[in-house]
Amino acid sequence: MRKVFKNLTPVQAFRKYADVGVEKPVEFFLSNFIHEGYTDLTAMCRRYAAEAVEIEHRLATTEEIAHVAELLEKYIRDYVKKIGGVSKIKLYTKEECNEMFERD
């Protein structure tokens, strides 16, 4: 595994690959995938990591992509725990997600 991936922390991975500059990036991340029909966090992170890593680095090994997916999942799980559980997450509506996406 290349150093650029090996040294990433969950916080660094989320900021680099998933934080798109909205007020609540975890809620935005989850909302978008839930609106696409995903319900499994691991599957969300795997799909997202594959796309994000490809955009950022062009080529990556499956090990590097899996590592980024694991870091994203850890960050999100830690965030959910920190805010007091899943019941505290306020998901965005599809319309709100679209508005935020159009602003960028």
Percent of all residues in the chain with a pLDDT value above 70, rounded to a whole number? 99
User: Which pLDDT score is estimated for 96?
Assistant: 93
- Is the model's pLDDT at 14 over the cut of 90? yes
| pLDDT tier for residue 104 given thresholds of 50, 70 and 90 | low
Confidence band for 28, pLDDT divided at 50, 70 and 90: very high
Q: What is d(CA 57, CA 66) in angstroms, rounded to the nearest whole number?
A: 14
How many Å apart are CA 38 and CA 7, to the nearest integer?
Answer: 29
The per-residue pLDDT for range 40-63, each reduced to its tens digit, is 999 999 999 999 998 887 888 999
Long-range contacts of 51-60 (CB under 8 A, 24+ apart): 52/17, 52/18, 53/17, 56/16, 56/17, 57/4, 60/5
Average pLDDT, the chain: 93
Find the length of the chain: 104
Q: Enter the pTM of the model.
A: 0.90
Average pLDDT of span 16-32: 91
